[in-house]
Amino acid sequence: MMALDSQMKNIIEQVRKANAPELFQLTPDQAREEYAKRVKKLSSQETIFKFEDRDIRVGNSDIKIRIYWPKALAIDEKLPVLLFFHGGGYVIGDLNTHDSVCRILANLADLIVVSVDYRLAPEYKFPVAVEDCFAALNWVKENGSMIGADTSRLAVGGDSAGGNLAAVTSILARDNGFQNIRFQLLVYPATAPEPETPSHYQFSEGFLLTRRLVTWFYKHYLRSRSDTKDFRYAPLISDDLSQLPSSLIITAGHDPLRDEGVEYAKKLIEFGNDVRVINYNGMAHGFYLMSGAVCKAMDALEESANALKNELKK
């Protein structure tokens, strides 16, 4: 196994020395606050031409989305669009924790990003997050031209739990006859029904995302054990992964979720989809948000932006 990257090692060391509580020892609200503080320290400050928060209707509720524009648009000019779902185990994370990532992707890939503030567990358990994300896709489909988006050039993406939600949204879009998603960007996605792959055991302690934290997330998100048999929770168990968008799957070498990302890629390929996997050796879970502290985070963001550009060309 490759050694831990020196910048990543530093971060893990700092977390250990700070003696901060483990997120799973906190209430969900406290964990959200603590996570936001940690992310802020490690992400980079990125300027963006314009962003705007809006409310969209989902059933009888409203959820927030944040729209990012990389530049002023000429009359009739339309840009491709990325619908982005943040990570955080379905319990933590929000528009602000992933603000820097969305700005960077909008700027580098020259596209509009719509980031979705889906409702979190345990207040809203599975499948509410899935339903919110699918509703956001429908919102983009119906309102895209109003925000300057070319909805025939649409991608979905996200990290960790957000990668799961992006994968599931692609499947639901296909099942509902919506063919416009051209590409999915899945960053260390959660795809498996149980944390039972070798990487879950190999990296269960000491690499930011611990086994106990994974269990804590699932405990809050799932209504009951039977939810683990639903592909909307674990896309890896879907019995039909045909006719899905082309994918870039990014994994981290020292990440409990590494193997299930690779397994999902293999299954997508078996079903005839176009998939590229890039594993960032020496990286731990969460590195994608650390562009202010880890060089490989910026590499991964640039790689993502290049893939988005190529896949969403006219």
Residue 302 sits in a domain whose CATH number is 3.40.50.1820
pLDDT surpasses 80 at 1: no
Q: What is the pLDDT at residue 20?
A: 85
Confidence of residue 33 (pLDDT cuts 50, 70, 90): very high
285 is catalytic: yes
Confidence class of residue 19 from pLDDT cuts 50, 70 and 90? confident
Q: In this predicted structure, what is the pLDDT of residue 82? A: 99
Identify the CA nearest to 85 among candidates 16, 31, 136.
Answer: 136
Choosing from 117, 255, 259, 291, which is the catalytic residue?
A: 255
Q: What pLDDT is stored for residue 35 in this prediction?
A: 97
Under a CB-based contact definition with an 8 Å cutoff, are residues 50 and 119 in contact? no
pLDDT at 63 over 80: yes
Is there a contact between 111 and 119 (Cβ–Cβ < 8 Å)? no
Average pLDDT over residues 50-55: 98
Q: What average pLDDT does this structure show over 111-119?
A: 99
The one catalytic residue in 100, 238, 285, 304 is 285
* Whole-Å CA distances, 211 to 29, 35, 74: 20, 17, 49
Residue 255 annotated to the active site? yes
The pTM assigned to this predicted structure is 0.98
Token digits for 153? 């050039």
Distance CA 197, CA 85 (A): 24
Calculate the average pLDDT of the chain. Answer: 98
Neighbours of 124 (CB within 10 A): 17
Residue 267 maps to a domain: yes
Structure tokens at 271: 């079903």
Which residue, among 182, 67, 171, 84, has the nearest Cα to 127 in the 3D structure? 171
pLDDT attached to residue 2: 80
Q: Which domain holds residue 292?
A: 6-311
The residue from 43, 100, 115, 160 that is catalytic is 160
Residues counted in the chain: 314
Query: Is the pLDDT reported for residue 314 higher than 80?
Result: no
Beta bridge partner(s), residue 53: 66
Please indicate, yes or no, if residue 1 is contained in any of the structural domains: no
Query: Has 239 been annotated as catalytic?
Result: no
- Residue 59 counted as domain residue: yes
Mean pLDDT on 135-153: 98
| pLDDT tens by residue, 215-243 | 999 999 999 999 999 999 999 999 999 99
Share of the chain above pLDDT 90, in %: 97
Average pLDDT over residues 77-95: 99
CA distances from 77 to 74, 80, 145, 183, 306 (A): 5, 10, 10, 21, 21
Convert the pLDDT of each residue in 175-222 to its tens digit: 999 999 999 999 999 999 999 999 999 999 999 999 999 999 999 999
Q: Please report whether residue 38 resides in a domain.
A: yes
The confidence score (pLDDT) of residue 117 equals 99
CA dihedral (305, 2, 214, 120) in degrees, to 10, reads -10
Residue 145 maps to a domain: yes
**By CB neighbour count within 10 A (0-12 exposed, 13-18 middle, 19+ buried), where does 45 fall?**
exposed
Q: Is the pLDDT of residue 30 over 90?
A: yes
Q: What angle is formed at CA 196 by the lines to CA 192 and CA 201, rounded to 5 degrees?
A: 130
CA distances to 1, 6, 106, 141, 310 from 134, rounded to whole Å, are 38, 39, 21, 11, 25
Arithmetic mean of pLDDT, 261-285: 99
Q: Is the pLDDT of residue 61 over 90?
A: yes
Q: How many domains does the chain have?
A: 1
Q: Is residue 162 part of a domain?
A: yes
Evaluate if residue 127 carries a pLDDT over 90.
Answer: yes
